[in-house]
Amino acid sequence: MAIDENVEAIKGAAEGITYPILIDAEHLLTETYAISNVPTVIWIDEHNNIVQPNWSAFGTDTFVEFTGVESGPQKDLVRRWVTHNEPMMEPAAAAEAVHDLTHEEEQARLYFRIAAKLRRDGDEDGAERNFATAVEFAPHDWTIRRAAMPLRGKDPFGEDFMTMYGEWQEAGSPYHGVPSVRTR
Amino acid sequence: MSNTIDTALLAGGPLLPKADLGPVLGWQLKPEGLCQGDICVPVHDMAALCPDDNTVDLLAVAGLVDRPAAVDETTGLVAIGAPRASRRSAINDLQAPEFTLPDLDGSLASLSDFAGKKKLLVAFSSW
């Protein structure tokens, strides 16, 4: 699921992929699954039980130099779950792994949604006002602050990203779920 | 889903005709409370919900049915979030909430389309 409204960019990344790719332009899943960054991976079994809740895991090694997190170990764990039904976490631990959204994080999601709609409707001032409100509510939430960057004319891989990254680390690298572990 | 309705903002609260409540939120005000089908939520503070006989405060309604809400007073745009219960079902009960989203061609797909299979959800983005 792309937490993104840039369908053309997603289409570019989706070439040759045969599994379903869904577009969550309204960030609905960031609300119902408390997702606060990408990539976030969730395992759901045959009976709709969440076996592995929100987990910061990479499918490729594109960013390994920056993150230090390799994709191999997590893909091995997925394979073990698929072939041997082995979960990564005990259910009791899984049920404690994701903190609920705060009131501020809920508000941030709603103001982001208002801003994105105003932007699509051509009201740039209104969009900027509401993006700014959303970021004030949740300055360390990547699905808010970084996702808004390209919609506010900022580079999500540039200076604004590095500023946010520094502030996020200073705040203790908050993440709704199981954080990734550096493997090198 | 977005709806356009006639409403008035009073002290930041969007007030709308009672009759519009059903089409917007799927809930209706009845003598037994705020109802969706057979399910009714009792209303303890009717004055806060309905400033007069014909109008309801949309933010108060959202609060009663446990949905977050936000309003941009300049444009009158209101966002009402998903029921908090669906998120709690995910993070506390480990029950995956149903969702429906468009694919790259605009066709809708739902989690339940893959019932009986293992599913690996990957949230990703271009940003």
Tally of domains in chain B: 1
Q: Can you say how many angstroms the Cα of residue B114 is from the centroid of all Cα atoms in its chain?
A: 25
Question: How many Cβ atoms from other residues are within 10 Å of residue A71's Cβ?
Answer: 17
- Domain enclosing residue B76, as ranges: 8-83
Confirm whether B79 is domain-assigned.
yes
Confirm whether B89 is domain-assigned.
no
- The pLDDT of residue B53 is 86
| Percentage, residues of chain A above pLDDT 90 | 88
| Percentage, residues of chain A above pLDDT 70 | 100
Confirm whether B76 is domain-assigned.
yes
Confirm whether B114 is domain-assigned.
no
Q: What is the pLDDT confidence band of residue A54, given thresholds at 50, 70 and 90?
A: very high
Check if A11 contacts B (Cβ < 8 Å): yes
Which of the pair, B99 or B3, is modelled with greater confidence?
Answer: B99
User: Taking residues B105-119, what's their average pLDDT?
Assistant: 96
Six-digit token string for A109: 């999601």
Pairing relationship of beta strands B77-80 and B69-72 according to DSSP bridges: antiparallel
User: Taking residues B94-119, what's their average pLDDT?
Assistant: 96
Token match 């009792």: residue? B42
When CB atoms are compared, the residue of B70, B95, B125 closest to A49 is B95
CA separation for the pair A53, A179 (Å, rounded) = 11
B72 beta partners = B77
Task: Classify the phi-psi angles of A122: left when phi > 0, otherwise alpha if psi is within -120 to 50, otherwise beta.
Answer: left
- The pLDDT of residue B1 is 63
Q: Can you say how many angstroms the Cα of residue A42 is from the centroid of all Cα atoms in its chain?
A: 11
- The pLDDT of residue B2 is 67
Q: What is the ipTM of this complex?
A: 0.95
Is the CB of A44 less than 8 angstroms away from the CB of B118? yes
User: Taking residues A12-36, what's their average pLDDT?
Assistant: 94
Confirm whether B57 is domain-assigned.
yes
Confirm whether B41 is domain-assigned.
yes
When CB atoms are compared, the residue of A29, A46, A103 closest to B116 is A46
Which of the pair, A153 or A63, is modelled with greater confidence?
Answer: A153
